[in-house]
Structure 1
Amino acid sequence: MKLQLNTLFLLVVLFFSKITLANHNSVIFNRPSDSVQASYALALLTLAYKELNYEVHIIDFNRHNALLAANNGVLDGQLGRDTSIEANNKNLIRINYPLFNYKLLLFKSCQPNTLDKLDSVSVLSGYPVQHHFLSESKFEGDIIEVKNIATQLNLLAQRKIDGAIMLDFVLNAGNFSQPETCMQTQLLSKLSLYHYVHKKHAALASKLLNALHKLHDNGTARALRAIYNFKL
């Protein structure tokens, strides 16, 4: 009940904040993960919105609830998501410019087991792509959702799970040590992240796409990648 009240309070605050900002051509998104890729994407999108005389405002928002808030129009969209969100979030419009590519990885012991042979895997909360991939792969084992990478690795080291699925750009966000056991990393899939806006901003979609292509063609995107020491 307390969580529901806190969530309701936050939605009310955001609603009135959006009214205050409405006359300033502003958009509000949740804070992205702390990684060079996310920093690059935010810098690029900030410039793209600036081309359209919009300001980007970033707020702290529970990532687990951010996608629902964006689909409901409480947030103005999502800075970066993969296409797996589209089936269940019909109010979000993809800006069809890939911000960057990333890899979905499986960490497991050195035993010669493939994903379909594992009895259990952990996933990181807030990233639906993992559940989507496991569903598409018809994985029949247990799926344990945790809040951070350290927990995933601890569970793996203690042999409480058989594997851990991770996104490589999230791995860059923290310093961690792999368990002192034989570990393998298996590439599961390569995906792209895109910017999404709520359908109330449908008129912005084509303009944003043009702005991003302009920043790409004039070398700005490349310069930003150099600043953040990030390669596509």
Structure 2
Amino acid sequence: MQTADKQQITLALITDPNTNLYGKWGVLIYNEAFSRLNINGSYIVLPALRASNTADSGKIDGEMGRGEWYAKKHPNLIRIEEPLFNSNLSAFVVNPSIKIQSWDDIKAGQYKVEYYRGIALAQQRLTQRVPQNNLTDSSNPINSLRLLQRGRIDIYIGVSLIVNELLVTPEFIDKNIHLVAILEEGKIYGYLHHRHEKMASKLAETFQQMKSEGLFNVYLEQARQFIKTQDSTKSLSTSSTDQ
């Protein structure tokens, strides 16, 4: 009977919480906040562009985490005014001869560039600087890193939080892919459809309280332990299959 009284909220994630540290961290944070506010929360993993469209249309209630100015491009969404964590938009390369420090350096180099689809800022910056025939986008960072590794693209522009977690997985840890430049610094915020304006304010207050209690750090460590366990399970499964 108590469950029936709870409001139901569904948020989109652009990272899988079963494999990504920050996705799992976010789920733990929201689960606690929703519990305090008597909300039943659920989550759906979607590619970035589809997550935007689905949240904009109101088919779901919002997105777990996006950049600081995301609402400028998505006026149907309102920001939860307490950041979840810091994040950067960064350039990754394999070729050590590629030296860039800014967006304009990418323009000067005539590089083949791929960026994470659905990141409006990356699209805006790159379409102004990179010829169309040298620019692609992708909703799958793993595939982009594979293209980078094989020399099919020269630079991958992605969210550091996502890419750095992939670079320590067995597939990429020894492939010499490295971050060459932080192009934009920012923070990650949650966003809700505008019909949930009051809830956004309550969540911001709840996040602030949880930070003051040290829970964000507690959940980060729990997320790390969870991902380590997942990685260990995968390794054991792979070893068994090989035998």
Secondary structure of the residue aligned to 2:83 is strand
Q: Which moved more, 1:138-147 or 1:199-208?
A: 138-147
- Pair 1:140 & 2:130 matched: yes
Counterpart position of 2:205: 210
Once residues 70 and 30 of structure 2 are traced to their aligned partners in structure 1, the CA distance between those partners, rounded to angstroms, is 20
Query: Which of residues 157, 168, 176 in structure 2 aligns to 1:165?
Result: 157
Local SS of the residue matching 1:90: coil
| 2:52 aligned counterpart, secondary structure | helix
Normalised by the size of structure 1, how large is the TM-score?
0.77
Give the TM-score, by structure 2 length: 0.74
Q: Which residue in 2 is equivalent to 1:9?
A: none
Residues 1:221 and 1:60: Cα distance change in structure 2 (over 3 Å): closer
- Give the distance between the partners of 2:192 and 2:30, measured in 1 at CA: 12
Residue in 2 that maps onto 1:54: 39
How high is the sequence identity, in percent, across the aligned residues?
Answer: 21
**Shift, 1:32, TM fit:** 4.2
- Structure 1 residues 180, 98: CA separation in 2 closer, same or farther (over 3 Å shift)? closer
Change (3 A) 1:157 1:79: closer
SS at match of 1:96: coil
What CA distance in whole angstroms lies between the structure 1 residues aligned with 2:213 and 2:77? 28
Decide whether aligned partners of structure 1 residues 104 and 202 sit closer, same or farther in structure 2, where only a CA change above 3 A counts: same
Tell which deviates more after alignment, 93-102 or 139-148.
139-148
Q: Compute the RMSD of aligned alpha carbons.
A: 2.8
2:87 aligns with: 102
Mark the CA change 1:197 to 1:162 in structure 2 (over 3 Å): closer, same or farther.
Answer: same
Q: Encode CA deviations 1:154-192: one digit per residue, 9 max, x unaligned.
A: 433444333111222212146232786796622222221
Partner of 1:11: none
1:217, distance to aligned residue in structure 2 (A)? 1.0
Distance 1:52 1:182, change over 3 A: closer
Distance 2:4 2:73 in 1: 27
2:108 to 102, 117, 133: 117
Which of 191, 216, 221 aligns to 2:216? It is 221
**Paired letter, 2:109:** L
Give the Cα separation in 2 of the matches to 1:64 and 1:117.
Answer: 28
Unmatched runs of 5 consecutive residues or more in structure 1: 1-20
Q: CA 1:180–1:57 in structure 2 vs 1: closer, same or farther (change >3 Å)?
A: closer
Bigger mean CA deviation after superposition, 180-189 or 146-155: 180-189
Q: In the alignment, which residue of structure 2 is the partner of 1:13?
A: none
Q: Equivalent residues in 2 for 1:71-110 (5 A)?
A: 71-108=56-93, 109-110=95-96
Q: Does 1:25 align with 2:7?
A: yes
The alpha-carbon distance between structure 1 residues 48 and 206, as it changes in their structure 2 partners (threshold 3 A), is same
Deviation, structure 1 residue 223: 1.6
Aligned residues: 208
What do the CA deviations read for 1:29-62 (whole angstroms, capped 9, x no partner)? 1244131112111211221122211110123445
Matched to 2:216, the amino acid is A
The 1:184–1:194 alpha-carbon spacing in structure 2 relative to 1, beyond 3 Å, is closer
Mapped partners of 2:201, 2:143: distance in 1: 41
**CA separation in 1, counterparts of 2:143 and 2:197?**
40
